[in-house]
Amino acid sequence: MTPLCRRLGIDLPVLAFSHCRDVVAAVSRAGGLGVLGAASMTPEDLDRDLTWLDRECAGRPYGVDLLFPAKSAGDDPAELAGRIPADHRAFVDALRTRWGVPVRRSEPGHNRLGGMPTEIDHLMTHANAHALWEVARAHPIRLVASALGPPPAEVRAETTRRGMLLAGLVGDPRHVRHQLAAGVDVLVAQGYEAAGHTGDITTMVLVPQVVAAAGDVPVVAAGGIATGRQVVAALALGAQAVWTGSVWLATAESDLDPVVKEKIVAAAATDTEKTTSYTGKPTRQLTTVWTEAWRTPEAPAPLPSPVQQVLARDTVVSAFEHQVTPVMGSAAGQAVGLVTGVRSVAAVLDDLRMQMADAVEAVTRLADDAG
């Protein structure tokens, strides 16, 4: 296994990002590293899930993914809502009427419906990120990932004190030096094809560039990876492990709404798109009537983050509450094109191990021929 796998204490070079603690535990128990996407949780929910993971992972390592926003455009939802122009509000009101989306039932920011991606409801503010870190640092986390920009100095100091590894995500080789300056232990090179916040450089091009810029710091490849052959490809590119996400959305353990799981299974790679229509920042999402509406000529330009999120969330949350299926979506990478059914985490990982062996054999046969 790679040196990074040994440091993480895993025997499969696969990190698995999920908002669902059941997926995280299943991956960690199977020899990979489950990473809980916690950036949009409430501190109370995070503490509950980490306490559960401490027990369910049975001593196997797990990770947590957080955002540490450098600056926040504002924390007060009412103040943020006041910045929404009238024609943006009218545009969304017309969409709700057209699609038949009722008024939401739950309180904004406190949605506890199962099955809905949590990102859309909780504003990613500096205050919330700080509160989450206060909760997380008390748990025996093996890896802390900073998903947007370099981690702050106090997080670096605290992870060192507690023996946690710290990872930083980059989408451009020019951002590597900022992460190295912040002292990260691991770089996650995330390509254009990934779900969530991405740049324009693809995994195939980005990973070798980040490896070249990283010096001795190990690199994890992210973006488009769902199969064992791709894991071996990433290792050939110089990565020491892969970061996966979309492949877990439609697993049996995932708490994603069954309607969206079906969409993931049916989706081609081209049924995802980069859009700013959910949060104001470019993230890759399943194409839905919502993302399509914001691409029409009559649509206003999406607002900056997090004002667009304040505008979007009530409609999107209500669509889940009332099962208005055309509006229901999820962050999703092009790897959904490789997902062909709802399966257990263990079944996905069994296949992945076999595919890895096939790919290693294909590559070593090449070496034998050349030798």
Distance between CA atoms of 62 and 161, rounded to whole angstroms? 18
In the stretch 16-55, what mask flags binding to a second copy with x, by CB under 8 A? ----------------------------------------
- When asked if residue 346 is in the footprint of a second copy (CB under 8 A), the reply is no
Residue count at the site for a second copy (CB under 8 A)?
50
Contact pick of 1, 94, 157, 266 for a second copy (by CB under 8 A) = 1
CB of 256 to a second copy, least distance (A): 21
- Which of 141, 239 has the CB closer to a second copy? 239
> How far apart are alpha carbons 146 and 69 in whole angstroms?
9
Residues 33, 119 contacting (CB under 8 angstroms)? no
| Structure tokens that stand for 40 in this block | 């949009």
CA dihedral angle for residue 185, residue 191, residue 193, residue 197, rounded to 10 degrees: 70
The torsion angles phi and psi of 41, rounded to 5 degrees, stand at: -80, 165
| Identity of the residue, 166 or 194, whose beta carbon is nearer to a second copy in the bound complex | 194
Identity of the residue, 48 or 229, whose beta carbon is nearer to a second copy in the bound complex: 229
Q: How far apart are CA 1 and CA 135, in angstroms?
A: 32
Neighbouring C-alpha atoms within 13 Å toward the C-beta of 4: 27
Query: Could you tell me the smallest distance in angstroms from the CB atom of residue 1 to a second copy?
Result: 5
Binding to a second copy (CB under 8 A): which residues in 133-192? 172-174, 191-192
Q: Under rule CB under 8 A, which residues in 192-231 are in contact with a second copy? A: 192-193, 199-206, 208-209, 223-225, 227, 229-230
Alpha helix stretches (DSSP H) within the chain: 3-8, 21-29, 43-56, 77-81, 86-99, 126-136, 153-161, 176-181, 203-214, 228-236, 246-249, 258-266, 289-293, 307-321, 345-370
The binder of a second copy chosen from 58, 78, 301, 367 (CB under 8 A): 367
With tokens 């890759």, the residue in question is 284
Residues that bind a second copy (CB under 8 A): 1-2, 13, 172-174, 191-193, 199-206, 208-209, 223-225, 227, 229-230, 232-238, 268-270, 334-335, 337-338, 357, 359-364, 366-367, 369-370
